């Protein structure tokens, strides 16, 4: 079994995410009930949302992610742990505010951060 390498987002190598990290399907759909009582569902898109939780993240890594998130364009996310992202997928980036965990000053501290990535393209 090969070792899983760190996830990457664009040119940023991320630390391994912690507890609370998850991948969840996102369905863009509409459900209708016919006059006869049958329920119909029309699915327009099926994607994945990746939530990566970091109990501690360095200022340097956060700054790189913040720059990437502020470009407002899609980035490539690759993480071998999940088959859905193992070969690299295009995602939109959302980054939580920094929550100070440890340290002081303007560059020597660690923050609690949540990174949310939503696939750009539908899988259907």
Residue range 41-92, pLDDT digits in tens? 888 889 999 999 999 998 889 999 999 999 989 999 999 888 899 899 999 9
Total count of domains within the chain: 1
Query: Residue 1 falls within a domain, yes or no?
Result: no
CA distance 55 to 23: 18
- Which of the listed ranges 57-61, 74-78, 101-105, 106-110 does the model predict with the highest average pLDDT? 74-78
Say if 45 falls within a structural domain: yes
Determine the structural domain holding residue 78 and report its residue range: 8-119
- For the entire predicted model, the pTM comes to 0.83
Does 71 fall in a domain? yes
What pLDDT, on a 0 to 100 scale, did the predictor assign at position 43? 87
- Residue 20 included in any domain: yes
- pLDDT score for 3: 78
Domain assignment of residue 113, yes or no = yes
């Amino acid at each position: 079994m090969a070792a899983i390498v760190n996830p990457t987002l664009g040119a940023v190598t991320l630390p391994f995410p912690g507890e609370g990290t998850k991948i969840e399907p996102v369905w863009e759909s509409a459900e209708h009930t016919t006059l006869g009582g049958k329920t119909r569902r029309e699915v327009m898109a099926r994607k994945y949302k990746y939530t990566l939780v970091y109990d501690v993240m360095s200022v340097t890594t956060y700054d790189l992610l913040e720059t990437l998130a502020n470009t407002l364009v899609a980035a490539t996310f690759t993480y071998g742990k999940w088959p859905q992202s193992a070969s690299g997928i295009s995602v939109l980036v959302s980054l939580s505010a920094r929550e100070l965990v440890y340290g002081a000053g303007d560059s020597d501290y660690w923050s609690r951060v949540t990174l949310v990535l939503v696939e750009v393209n539908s899988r259907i």
